[in-house]
């Protein structure tokens, strides 16, 4: 059995020599020893652009019986850019359905994941993000009888628990002078550093085991 990951920048794999950014997808294999993890998530992609570029179709001939196909989108589906944008209850769920069918046609097991939350605090209150896309994933998973990992709920819980200041270390918050690759301070509330990616990868692995999909 192999695990394939389709998603956006939050699940992507990055070169540690080039950036402090880490996607949860690149760390998942560390929690599942002996299980090959192939991360084909790509920054900036939505369900629409990922499919339009033929990225899922690249798995034809590789994804097979007993494999897992993990699918996590929404960040870029919310974009106003026409090549990325989808509507939560129509084109977004239609595209996710295509991922599910693609896996099942090859006797693989699809797994849907809600996206990680964005770290948005206002007046000391953590704000909800991703709107109706979250419920669209949950409803579709139930409708199609697809295993669901609610990464949003877990990330929200963790960020809220760590607080406005403490949760900065999960994301790309880099102080001026902290790293020579970043001459100016960075305040990115969407993308994770190692600490965040590691926690979310651990939760994804734990969930896969709880679902009985991996040992």
Q: Which positions are catalytic?
A: 9, 176, 191
> Is 6 in a helix, a strand, or coil?
strand
Distance CA 189, CA 54 (A): 29
Neighbours of 31 (CB within 10 A): 18
Distance CA 100, CA 43 (A): 21
What does the block give as tokens for 21? 């950014």
- The answer to whether residues 201 and 28 touch, using CB atoms and an 8 Å cutoff, is yes
Q: At which residue do the structure tokens 């402090």 appear?
A: 20
Find the helix or strand (DSSP H, E) in which 72 lies: strand 68-72
> Is 150 in a helix, a strand, or coil?
coil
Distance of alpha carbon 27 from the chain centroid = 12
Distance of alpha carbon 48 from the chain centroid = 15
- The answer to whether residues 79 and 85 touch, using CB atoms and an 8 Å cutoff, is yes
- Which backbone phi and psi does 76 adopt, to 5 degrees? -95, -15
């Amino acid at each position: 059995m192999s695990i394939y990951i389709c998603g956006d920048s939050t699940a992507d794999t990055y070169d540690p020599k080039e950036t402090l950014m880490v996607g949860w997808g690149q760390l998942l294999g560390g929690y599942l020893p002996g299980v090959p993890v192939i991360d084909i998530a790509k920054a900036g992609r939505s369900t629409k652009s990922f499919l339009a570029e033929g990225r899922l179709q690249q798995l034809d001939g590789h994804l097979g019986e007993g494999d897992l196909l993990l699918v996590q989108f929404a960040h870029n589906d919310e974009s106003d850019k026409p090549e990325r944008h989808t509507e939560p209850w129509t084109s977004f769920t239609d595209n996710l359905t295509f991922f599910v069918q693609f896996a099942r046609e090859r006797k693989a097991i699809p797994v849907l994941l809600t996206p990680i939350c964005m770290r948005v605090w206002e007046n000391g209150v953590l704000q909800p993000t991703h709107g109706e896309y979250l419920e669209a994933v949950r409803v579709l998973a139930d409708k199609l009888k697809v295993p669901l990992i609610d990464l949003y709920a877990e990330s929200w819980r963790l960020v809220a628990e760590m607080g406005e200041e403490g949760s900065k270390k999960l994301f790309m918050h880099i102080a001026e002078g902290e790293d020579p690759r970043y001459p100016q301070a960075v305040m990115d509330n969407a993308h994770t550093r190692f600490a965040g990616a590691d926690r979310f990868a651990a939760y994804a692995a734990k969930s896969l085991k709880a679902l009985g999909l991996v040992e």
